[in-house]
Structure 1
Amino acid sequence: MERESSDPRPILYMVIPCYNEEEVLPLTSKDFLKKLYELIQMDMISEESKILFVNDGSKDKTWEIIKQLAKSDEHFEGISQSRNRGHQNAVLAGLMEAKDRADITISIDCDGQDDINAMDLMIQEYMDGSEIVYGVRNDRGTDTFFKRTSAEGFYKLLTWMGVETVYNHADYRLVSAKVLREFANFKEVNIFLRGMFPLVGFKSTCVYYKRQERLAGESHYPLSKMLALAFDGITSLSIKPIRMITVFGILVSLLSFIGVIWSVVLHFMGYSIQGWASTTSIICFIGGVQLISLGVIGEYIGKIYLETKGRPRYIISERTDDISAEINTIKKSKNGEEV
C-alpha cells in the first residue's frame, strides 16, 4: 500500500538498531536529530520524517533513554523487541515497521561510526532514480589489522562462494518503500541483509564515506558474533560448500581407490606388512573429512529445520507510540475534554 501525500518531499525514517547503548545513545541521538532537521530545512525530506530506534532486548537503560527521547521530540520514535534477536533482525524489524509509513529508509548503527553526512548524497541519488543506495567505506584505517584483513577476506570469500554483495558495505543503506514492499516477500528466518538486498533488484548505486571511531562505549560485535554472521551469510545464500564437499569426497574416493589397488599390488609382491603410522594417518584423515562434511551439511539441515517452523523473525513488545497516546489521553482529561 503506497503512502498518499501532496508533499513532494519524501518521508524518511532513520532505522537505528540499539543493543546496550546507554553510553553512546545520548550523544549520537543529538547528531541524528540535527541531521534530520538539516535535511528538512534543505527541503530534501518531509517534516513528517522520523528517527526510529529499535531496542534489541537491551539489558541496560537503552529503552528508558529511547522513551525519554520520544517524549522530548516528536521526530523520535522507538520500538522494543521482546528479547535480543541480533543486529540483523533488529534492522529488519525497523524496516518492516517503516515500510508503510515512509517513502525511504536509511538504516545506520547508533555508535556514530558511519558518516551521517553521507545521507545527503544517498537522498540525492534516490531523487535521481536509485531505489537502493549502499553506504560503502572508502578505507578501513580505523580498524585493527586483524579486523581489516578478516573483513576483506570475508567479502572476497562471499564473492568466491557466489554470494552477491557490495564490497566493504555493511548495513548503512538507503532503501525505498517500493523495494521494502518486495523485500517483505522474503520470508527466510536466517537473515543476512547485505546479501539479500542485491537479490531484490531495482536500480542501485553506492555512496562512499570514511568510517569514524566509536564515540563512546564498546562494540557489541565481538569475534564470535562476526564469525556467526559470516557463517550465516555463506550458508544462507550459497550452496557452494556442499558442492565443494561433493567434489572433495570424489577426490578422496579416487585416492582411496588408488590406495586399495596399491595395497593389493604390494600384497602379491610380498610386501604386505603395513606400518601402524600410515594406517592411523589414513583413518584419522578420512574420519576428519567425514566429520567436517557432516558438520557443514548439518548446518544446512539445521537452517532448513528453522525455516520450516516459520517462527516470527521479530516480536515487538513495546512502542513509544503507546506512550505518546497515553500522554495525549492524560492531557485531554486534564483539559476537560471527552476521551
Structure 2
Amino acid sequence: MKTIYLVLPCYNEELVIQDSAIKIEDFLRELVDKKIISAESRACFVNDGSNDSTWDLLEHLCETNAFLCAISLAGNRGHQNAMLAGMMMVKDRCDAVITLDADLQHDISVIPEFITQYKKGYEVVYGVRKSRKGEGAFKKVSGDAFYFLMNILGTKIIKNHADYRLMSSKAINALEKYGERNLFLRGIIPSMGFSYTTIEYDEKPRLAGESKYSLRKMIQLAATGITSFSVRPLHFIFFCGMFFFLISIVMLIYALVVFFHNGSIPGWTSTVAPIWLLGGIQLLALGVVGEYIGKIYMEAKHRPRYEIDKVIWK
C-alpha cells in the first residue's frame, strides 16, 4: 500500500480548523481500514503565520489525533510558499502528496480516485472544478480572462484547477530544483512535463468563516503567473511602441503638408485625447517592465522562501 500525505496550508482558520482536522482524520482512518493507503499516511497542516488561535488549536489537535501533524512558518509567507513548505517537509516520508485547502472546499471524497490514477502510473493528478457556482460574476469573468491571457502567452495551466492535486515523490523531488522566489505552482508543475490526468469534483461551501484569499491576493497571483512564464508582454510593448512611432511619423508628415498649404493646422485641440491615451499606454508599459525588474531584484537576493518556526510530529 502507498503512504499518502495530505498537505493543508492554513491562515487564520480558527473557525474551521477543528472541524476540518476531525473530518480529515476520520477520512484517513477510513482509507486505511479499506487498505487504500498505509497506516503511516498523515495529514500535515501548515500554519502560514496566522495571527489568531489557529496554531494553538493545531497543537491540541495533533496531541490527540494520531494521523495529524503540523508545521508553523515564521511569518506569513503566502499560500504558495506554505504549500511548498509542507510538500518539502513530507516528501521523504511518503510515496505521494495531496495538497488541498484547510477549509475543505476541495471535495475529499475524490481522493481515492486520485490515488487510483497515481497507481496507474500518473505522476501528477489535478483536481478540476466541475462548476464555479459559488463565485460572483466578476470572479468568473476575471478568471476566464486570466486563462485566456495565459493561453495567448503560451503558458500551460490546467483550467479550473485550484491547487488541489496529487504529486508523486518523484515529481516533488523535481519541483525542489526550481528555485523561483515568485512561486506560481499552477504554472510550474504543468511545465515540468510529467505524465498527468485530471479528476473532476464539486466544490463544497466553506464550513465556517470567509475566504482569506482576497481580491488583492488573487490579482497578485495572476500577475505572478503572467510574468513568471513568458516575456511576451515585453515583446508586446516593443511592437506597440513601434506601431505608435510609425503613426506619429505619419501624423508629422500630415501636419507639415497642411501647414505649408494652409498656414495653420486645424484640430489640434483634439490632440488632448491621444495624449492621454499614449500617456496611459506609457504608464502601463512602465508597470509591466517594473514587474519584471522587481522579479529580477527579488530573485537576485536569493533569500529563503520560508523559515519553519515550529514542528509537531509523531
User: What is the TM-score with the length of structure 2 in the denominator?
Assistant: 0.97
How far apart, CA to CA, are the structure 1 residues paired with 2:44 and 2:82? Answer: 11
Count of residues paired in the alignment? 314
- Cα deviation, residue 116, structure 1: 0.1
Match of 2:102 in 1: 110
| Corresponding letter in the other structure for 1:85 | R
1:67 is matched with which residue: 50, 59, 64? 59
Using a 3 Å threshold, how does the CA distance of structure 1 residues 164 and 42 change in structure 2: closer, same or farther? same
Structure 1 equivalent of residue 160 of structure 2? 168
SS in 2 for 1:207: strand
- 1:142 maps to a residue whose letter is G
Q: Is 1:198 aligned to residue 190 of structure 2? A: yes
- Counterpart for residue 333 of structure 1: none
Q: Is the 8 A contact 1:152 1:168 kept in 2?
A: no
Map 1:115-130 → 2, pairs under 5 A:
115-130=107-122
Which residue does the alignment assign to 1:6? Answer: none
Give how far 1:191 is off.
0.3
How far off its partner does 1:276 sit? Answer: 4.7
Q: CA deviation at 1:45?
A: 1.1
Distance 2:109 2:169 in 1: 22
| Cα offset, 1:36, TM superposition | 0.8
Report the AA paired with residue 93 of structure 2: R
Within 5 Å, which residues of 2 pair with 1:19-168?
A: 19-168=11-160
**How far apart in 1 are the matches of 2:302 and 2:287?**
23
Structure-2 residue corresponding to 1:307:
299
Q: Which residue number in structure 1 is paired with residue 226 of structure 2?
A: 234
Q: 1:120, 1:152 → 2: CA distance?
A: 29
CA distance in structure 2 between the partners assigned to 1:102 and 1:269 by the alignment: 82
The residue type paired with residue 186 of structure 1 is Y
How far does residue 320 in structure 1 lie from its aligned partner after superposition? Answer: 1.0
Name the SS of the counterpart of 1:100 in structure 2. Answer: helix
Local SS of the residue matching 1:269:
helix
Please tell me whether the aligned partners of residues 255 and 265 of structure 2 are also in contact (alpha carbons under 8 angstroms): no
Q: Which amino acid aligns with 2:30?
A: E
SS in 2 for 1:156: helix
- Corresponding residue of 1:273: 265
Asked whether the equivalents of residues 6 and 44 of structure 2 are also in contact (C-alpha less than 8 Å), the reply is yes
Q: What amino acid sits opposite 1:215 in the alignment? A: L
| 14-23 or 274-283, which deviates more | 274-283
Is contact 2:25-2:65 (8 Å) kept? no
1:225-265 CA-partner distances (Å, limit 9, x unpaired)? 11111111101112121111111111111111111111111
What SS does structure 1 have at the residue aligned with 2:278?
helix
Cross-structure match for 1:316 = 308
- Which amino acid is the alignment partner of residue 147 of structure 1? K
Structure 2: how far apart are the matches of 1:255 and 1:209? 51
Q: How does 1:217-228 map to 2 (within 5 A)?
A: 217-228=209-220
* Corresponding position of 1:11: 3
Greater C-alpha radius of gyration: 1
RMSD: 1.3
Per the TM alignment, residue 75 of structure 1 is displaced from its structure 2 partner at its CA by 1.4
Partner-residue secondary structure (3-state), 2:71: strand
Q: What amino acid sits opposite 1:112 in the alignment?
A: L
Instruction: Compute the displacement of 1:285 (Å).
Output: 2.7
Q: Deviations over 1:243-302 (max 9, x none)?
A: 111111111111111111111111211243355523433333332222211111011010
The SS at the match of 2:210 is coil
- Counterpart of 2:279 in structure 1 is 287
